[in-house]
Amino acid sequence: MQDDREIIAEVLQGNKEAYALIVNRYKGKVASILRKAMGHSHEVEDIVQEVFIKAYYSLPDYRPGHSFSAWLYRITMNRGIDELRKRKRMPGVAEVSSELKDESPIPEEVFLEKEQRVALRQQIMALNKDYGTLLDMHYLQFLSYREISSRLSLSVDTVRMRLSHARRKLRDRLSKSEK
């Protein structure tokens, strides 16, 4: 039985079929981790596939001196956390359908909500360009700290710190605009 490092070396050398060995070896554990984090959802199998796709494209970033399974499980946990955040931000289908049945939105409310979103977007864009970009990536594009870190070539700690500053600056701007 080949160890993970040998299989990964083969994949990185162009043997894409070897990646199936990794998938078969770890798919049960990845699914188990996601079920524990998210509950028994019909989406778990789709997210398992997403995890393996992300891991495949991130293989060049994997450091062979470290445990592959730990690296893969970290990707799994990050993806599970991202999914839970996304669920919190987006109402479920049942909630939306019950809202639609109960009452249709009042045109004034729709207009006010849209106006508030536009105003918030303007406040975000009025911030320092870096802060606005970070807020947009995290809250509107639903990217994790790690994904932002990768895209902006910053450390995860720097992303955390700058997002914290950006939130504080946005709060200050919003409180000033309310006065």
Give the separation between CA 19 and CA 124, rounded to whole angstroms. 42
Which H/E stretch holds residue 161?
helix 156-178
Distance CA 112, CA 114 (A): 5
Average pLDDT of the chain, as a whole number? 81
pLDDT at 161 over 90: yes
Distance, CA of 19 to CA of 26 (rounded, Å): 11
Given this model, what pLDDT does residue 157 score?
93
Which residue in 109, 118, 126 sits closest to 176, CA to CA?
126
Show the 3-state SS of 19-56. Answer: HHHHHHHHHHHHHHHHHHHHCCCCCHHHHHHHHHHHHH
Asked if the model's pLDDT at residue 179 lies above 80, the reply is no
Is residue 134 within 8 A of residue 162, CB to CB? The reply is yes
Q: According to the model, what pLDDT value does residue 90 have?
A: 62
Q: Which segment of 36-40, 71-75, 126-130, 155-159 scores lowest on mean pLDDT?
A: 36-40
- Alpha carbons 139 and 176: distance in angstroms, whole number: 22
Q: What is the helix (H) or strand (E) element at residue 158, kind and residue range?
A: helix 156-178
